[in-house]
A = this chain, B = another copy of it.
Amino acid sequence: MNLKYGVVGTGALGGFYGGILAHAGKEVNFLFNSDFEHVRQHGLKVDSVMGDFHLKNVRAFGKAEQMPACDVVLVCLKTTNNNLLKQILPSVVHPESLVVLIQNGMNVEADVQQQFPDLNIAGGLAFICSNKIGPGHIAHLDYGRLIIGGYRVSNELVLKQVVTDFLLAGIPAELSPDLQMARWRKLVWNIPFNGLTVVLNATTDHLMNNPETKELAYQMMLEVIAAANASGYAIPETFADEMMNLTRHMKPYAPSMKLDFDFRRPMEIEYIYSKTIEEAAKAGFEMSRVSMLEKQLQFIQTRYCQA
């Protein structure tokens, strides 16, 4: 099955994952925003630990209406821009298309499904360290694993083919049988470290080297795990220990929310924090520490970041 791909939001994630599919020979149509003219003239450059490459002829578009309908649309926007999907998606899909939301947080699929009740939707979780370092120029620094799971998928074969296409392009991709579980597990790390690095103006190593914040990060991981368990997603507490161990051995790292804050961009508070807190509350579980961090972030966002 030869799938025609589209990428919405060609930044650090979309530029890398879309770029590597195109580099592997797939048809990939990219929707650009500010980088459109640059990429049309100079192509897309990806500096990657897996090997650098330069796509000279990119199927680049500046407007969604000019895109062809694609079989698979990778949505790589920050969730803070998900309000744009209402206008973009109708132009880039056909009735059988599969939209893969490669985004952080809780219940992103549900919100898109509500706007497009008949759309085929999957979620993607990127475990990657990648940045946009210039117009049409992506630096892929480390990792790259992609977990994909179906949300509402009428044709499972398409979903499997997407995973296969990524694997053939060299990406460690896997199909998750339980997308919601995968999202909860990713939040175990994202919730403490995204927010605490912003509120305490620090990188992961600072938080890990201080016994108080190390303990706090661990407590918050346990709170996410307890919320997941209350919601019916069984994650063992030892998973928090694994995540702490992993973080201890990471190079000093500024998570995506810290970068957003440093550049005074809107932070993904809603999908990483508010929706998770809501989801736990539905199961009768109060996330007291996570709620506190959410409120601190809301304060910082209102005071320092443009919406």
- A residues contacting B by CB (< 8 A) are 199-200, 202, 206-207, 210, 212-213, 215-216, 219, 288-289, 292-296, 298-300, 302-303
Contacts and interface: CB of A to CB of B under 8 A. Distances in A.
A267 to B, nearest CB: 13
B207 A295 contact: no
Contacts of A300: 200
Contacts of A207: 299
Task: Give the secondary structure class of A's interface.
Answer: helix
A120 B202 CA distance: 46
Contacts of A216: 292, 295-296
Contact of A213 (B206, B210, B295): B295
Contacts of A302: 210, 212
A206 B210 CA distance: 29
B299 A200 contact: yes
Contact of A296 (B200, B206, B219): B200
Contacts of A206: 299, 303
Contacts of A213: 295-296, 298-299
Nearest to A200: B299
Q: Count this chain's copies in the assembly.
A: 2
Given A288-B288, A289-B288, A303-B206, A295 B199 contact: no
Nearest to A211: B298
Contacts of A299: 200, 202, 206-207, 210, 212-213
A295 B217 CA distance: 10
B288 A215 contact: no
Contacts of A298: 210, 212-213
- Of the candidates A199, A219, A289, A295, the one having the most CB atoms from chain B within 10 angstroms of its own CB is A295
A179 B10 CA distance: 63
Nearest to A304: B201
A296 to B, nearest CB: 6
Given A200-B296, A288-B288, 9 more contacts: A199-B199, A206-B303, A207-B299, A212-B294, A212-B295, A212-B298, A213-B295, A288-B289, A289-B292
A213 to B, nearest CB: 5
A11 B185 CA distance: 52
A287 to B, nearest CB: 10
A215 B206 CA distance: 29
A215 B295 contact: yes
A132 to B, nearest CB: 29
A288 B296 CA distance: 15
